[in-house]
Amino acid sequence: MKAVKSKRTKLEDKVSKELWRRGYRFRRNEKSLYGKPDISIKKYQVAIFIDSCFWHGCELHARTPKSNVDYWLKKIQRNIERDVEVTKYYRNNGWHIFRIWEHQLNDNFGYTIELLVKQIEEIKKLNCST
Ligand SMILES: [Zn+2]
């Protein structure tokens, strides 16, 4: 479990690298932002969270751990509640929040990034016109 819990996952690295390659400049795990988004672009008020299927209780891949079931379920439940809270916070504060599931990236990395980039570009356009 330790590897999964490490602050920066390989998947986050992969997404960051790809965004960087495409010219985006961002911060990772910015402490001053609520919930420390995995990736954030302050200029465009974009917060990106990459949610692991296990830790964030993905409905498609929720697996009940074999031992310490109560412990894990409580922990995951807390994460889910916190995710809702964090999402609400950003929406209420005029930020654009993106939550990407681990499985979306694993299933089709290119497409998921493409979709994300498209949306960030839309936000950039909005920013320019105001
Ligand atoms: Zn999943």
83-111 residue pLDDT tens: 999 999 999 999 999 999 999 999 999 99
CA of 89 to the centre of ligand 1 (A): 23
Q: Tell me how far apart the alpha carbons of residues 45 and 47 are, in angstroms, rounded to a whole number.
A: 7
CA of 1 to the centre of ligand 1 (A): 17
CA of 103 to the centre of ligand 1 (A): 5
Asked if 92 and 43 touch (Cβ cutoff 8 Å), the reply is no
DSSP string of 20-69? Answer: HHTT---BSS-TTSTT--SEEEGGGTEEEEEE-TTTTT-TTT----SSSH
CA of 126 to the centre of ligand 1 (A): 31
pTM (2 decimals)? 0.90
**Angstrom distances, CA of residue 73 to CA of 57, 86, 103, 118, 126:** 9, 20, 20, 35, 41
Q: Tell me how far apart the alpha carbons of residues 42 and 25 are, in angstroms, rounded to a whole number.
A: 10
CA of 90 to the centre of ligand 1 (A): 23
Q: What average pLDDT does the segment 105-123 reach?
A: 97
**pLDDT single digits (tens) 7-62:** 578 999 999 999 999 999 999 999 999 999 999 999 999 999 999 999 999 999 97
* pLDDT > 90: percent of the chain: 84
